[in-house]
Amino acid sequence: MLGTSFDLDVLARALGECLDSGRVSVEAVRQHCLNLLHVPPEPIPVPEFLLLSLPRPDLSRYDVLLAVAP
């Protein structure tokens, strides 16, 4: 049935990818077909005044949480 929705070349590539990954199911092949056909949209330019400059997070706080023994 996927052959009625997708070009056979795309379907063959998707099936090959699924066989290579070891995950063969109708859902997986369909998703691979959709992934192969997906065209990402053009990025939307963001005006300069809307760009935010955030400080880098202090990840050492997580080390403190891991150091606490129950």
Mean pLDDT of 7-17: 95
What is the token pair recorded at 22? 């070891």
At residue 70 the predicted structure's pLDDT band, cuts being 50, 70 and 90, is low
**Rounded to an integer, what distance in angstroms lies between the CA atom of residue 67 and that of residue 19?**
44
Q: How many domains does the chain have?
A: 1
Looking at the domain assignment, is residue 29 inside a domain? yes
Q: Return mean pLDDT, the chain.
A: 91
At residue 42 the predicted structure's pLDDT band, cuts being 50, 70 and 90, is very high
Domain that holds residue 32: 1-39
Looking at the domain assignment, is residue 19 inside a domain? yes
Looking at the domain assignment, is residue 23 inside a domain? yes
Let me know: does 18 contact 32? Beta carbons within 8 Å.
yes
Mean pLDDT of 41-50: 91
Looking at the domain assignment, is residue 28 inside a domain? yes
pLDDT at 57 over 80: yes
Looking at the domain assignment, is residue 69 inside a domain? no
Single-letter code of the amino acid located at 34 = L
